[in-house]
Amino acid sequence: MTQKTEITFEIEETVVLKQGGKIVMGYCPRCNRDIELVSPDVLALASGASEREIFRLVERGMIHFEETDRLVVCSNCYRLLSADHDL
């Protein structure tokens, strides 16, 4: 006689961010207006890009950024750049 045993696993996942993203309003000289400036992790999450790609764009001077306590970039500059270059 054969016995059948059913095993069920429940998996729960918790994600903890040690340093949360940052979103502030600021002036972008490229866009010539007040706009949301966001940390690269927030922009990466919202756009599907990698944080590294966003840092590369900052290093190349392709998107406006400000560096105070934490780096923030212009979300509109990134949006316009990605529309022009299919990022």
pLDDT in tens, 34-59: 999 999 999 998 899 999 999 999 99
- The Cα–Cα gap between 57 and 67 comes to 15
In the prediction, which pLDDT does 65 show? 95
- The number of domains in the chain is 1
**HSE-CB for 14 with a 13 A CA cutoff:** 2
Would 12 be classed as within a structural domain? no
Would 59 be classed as within a structural domain? yes
| 12 vs 39, higher pLDDT | 39
Residue-number span of the structural domain to which 63 is assigned? 23-85
For 2-38, give one letter per residue: b (16+ CB within 10 A) or e. Answer: eeeeeeeeeeeeeeeeeeebbeeeeebeeeeeebbbb
In the prediction, which pLDDT does 22 show? 85
Would 4 be classed as within a structural domain? no
In the prediction, which pLDDT does 75 show? 93
In the prediction, which pLDDT does 68 show? 81
In the prediction, which pLDDT does 10 show? 84
Q: Is the pLDDT of residue 24 over 70?
A: yes
Would 49 be classed as within a structural domain? yes
In the prediction, which pLDDT does 18 show? 56
Q: What is the mean pLDDT of the chain?
A: 87
Dihedral in degrees, nearest 10, Cα atoms 19, 21, 26, 32:
130
